Structure 1
Amino acid sequence: MIAFELAVQDAHGLHVATRLRVDRVELCSALALGGVTPSFGLLDAAVSTPGAPPMHVLVRPRPGDFGYAPDELAIIVRDVRHAVAAGAAGVVVGGVRDGQVDTDLVERVIDAAGGASVTFHRAFDLLADPEKAIETLLGLGVRRILTAGGPTTVGDSLPGLAHLVAVAGGRLEVMAGGGVRADLIEPLVRLGVPAVHASAKHTVPDAAALTLGTAAQGESGRETTDEHEVERIHAALRAAGARP
């Protein structure tokens, strides 16, 4: 069976993930910016929702690159501790230093997570030597990587993704993410990924005339989980023989 992880950024997404029984949730905020650390309130709501999937909390203190200053790293460690103490099953992090895995960041996160699962997110796709990075992350105790197989999207990088699955050899989970849609599930199943990650979101029109923030220029709504797309991904997984 291939695991299905859903990226969720609001209460509606939590309800969809629970009702449609995805295998786990990556909990975050601001998916339009690539995702940042969710609020304590959203995390509390997520872990207290009856029947909710395991919560894996994205810990990313800001948008932008993945080279973190010491004070930012201290915030990441604090957020990891808070997430695990609140009941998260795991955390999702990433750090890059000179084109390589930021081993100091990962070591400190592993320690702060106290045995909870640690995923290295799509910062992986910026690393100069992905094969070496897999060995480094294995040695540090990371349980999975989130990757498109390249710096763009899954649909553009299927050969690279297949290569990473082969290199990992089941020693850590290679989770395909970055533009995953229902129509891509069948080729992903064929190349042998053990998990897929999707945001499955759509835009809800917003009648408000107030523009807030520079990132909102030209926008006419907000993004949230598209229940129908989640259902389509489930159906595609079943059709490909990856789900009962």
Structure 2
Amino acid sequence: MAPQTARRTALEIAVQDLAGYRVAAGAGAARTELCVALAATGGLTPSAGLLAALVAERDARSARGAHATGIHVLVRPRPGSFVYDAAEVDVQVRDVRAAVAAGADGVVVGVLTRDGRVDTGALSALVEAAAGREVTFHRAVDAVDDPAPVLDALAAAGVTRVLSSGGAARSIDGVRRLAAMVEHARGAVQVMAGGGVRPVDIGALVAAGVDAVHLSASRPVAGDGGPGGGGAAGHTVTDPDVVAEAVAALARA
């Protein structure tokens, strides 16, 4: 009987700029989720120029033999609910196609019906637009009462993974539900823990059996944009020290 290979839990960092990608790639993260307005909205679709900059960086790293962290693009046209009308779905399909054409390794989407089920028609269109790239279903799953039917629908649609906090504000508080999701999915869909993840939480999340952990590893940057720029809200950037702590915690786990 051949010895079993130890399961490795992947690290994904949510980034909002080229500097963040460089931090994540330098630390050896498996993937990045590229988005914008993360702290203010939970993340929105990034610009074409930003994606192009990251793709160029990834390809340059690959050409010189360095670790080339994957780029997965969040496709979310607005804040708020994950229930979209036909026009909003059409925009997302166009954004997925554009991301794939620009060289993204995958896309991150989430579409629900008003009664809390997966919008299978919209999801099918998004998966088709991804043209074989990996598709992650984001934390729209945390807006439903029972994730089991969602997992079944995602597996049937060919979705690679689901990002979830286990329905809690912070993943560590939803760890039991995350473990139940892993058990239900049985590998048909990868379960990635995300939502308020701190390096100190990673050991418990890995013990729950998740396939990956996802965190922004961010720190706030003050900056008053005035009345036309969001006031004094500032923004967040990737913190290299937090990423390093997450890498170390994952290695210990």
Q: Spell out structure 1 runs of 4+ moving beyond 2 A.
A: 208-213, 216-219
Q: Is 2:97–2:130's contact at 8 Å kept on the other side of the alignment?
A: yes
Cα deviation digits, residues 214-243 of structure 1 (max 9, x gap):
xx3553x32100110000000111112xxx
Report the CA distance between 1:209 and its aligned residue. 6.4
1:34 maps to 42
SS of the aligned residue for 2:213 comes to: strand
Unaligned runs of 5+ in 2: 1-7, 62-67
- Structure 1 residue 72 and structure 2 residue 88: aligned? yes
Partner of residue 232, structure 1: 245
Aligned-pair distance for 1:129? 2.6
Partner residue, 2:3: none
Whether contact under 8 Å (1:101, 1:127) holds in the other structure is no
What SS is found at the alignment partner of 2:155? helix
Residue pair 2:12, 2:212 contacting (<8 A) in 1 also: yes
- CA gap 1:187/1:103 in 2 versus in 1, 3 angstroms: same
* Matching residue within 101, 108, 123 for 1:106: 123
Task: Report what 1:130 is aligned to.
Answer: 147
Mapping for residues 1-244 of structure 1, pairs under 5 Å: 1-32=8-39, 33-49=41-57, 50-51=60-61, 52-97=68-113, 98-206=115-223, 208=224, 210-213=226-229, 216-219=230-233, 221-240=234-253
Deviation of 1:212 (Å): 3.4
Contact 1:126 / 1:151 at 8 angstroms: preserved in 2?
no
- Residue 135 of structure 2 aligns to a residue in which SS? strand
TM-score for the superposition, normalised by structure 1: 0.93
Q: Which amino acid aligns with 1:154?
A: S
Equivalent residue pairs, number: 236
Contact 1:5 1:25 (8 Å CA) reproduced: yes
Q: Which runs of 5+ in 1 are unaligned?
A: none
Contact 2:162 2:192 in 1 (8 A): yes
CA RMSD after TM alignment: 1.3
> 1:186 and 1:94 mapped to 2: Cα distance?
27
SS at match of 1:101: coil
- State the 1:69 CA deviation: 1.1
Percent identical among aligned pairs is 48
Normalized against structure 2, the TM-score is what? 0.90
Q: Distance in 2 between matches of 1:209 and 1:104?
A: 40
Partner Cα separation in structure 2 for residue 212 and residue 231 of structure 1: 36
SS, match of residue 82 in structure 2:
coil
In the alignment, the residues of structure 1 paired with residue 45 and residue 202 of structure 2 have an alpha-carbon distance, to the nearest angstrom, of 28
Q: Deviations over 1:90-146 (max 9, x none)?
A: 100001102100111110001111111111000011123311111111001111000
Letter in 1 for 2:48: F
2:50 and 2:225 map into 1 onto residues whose CA distance is 26
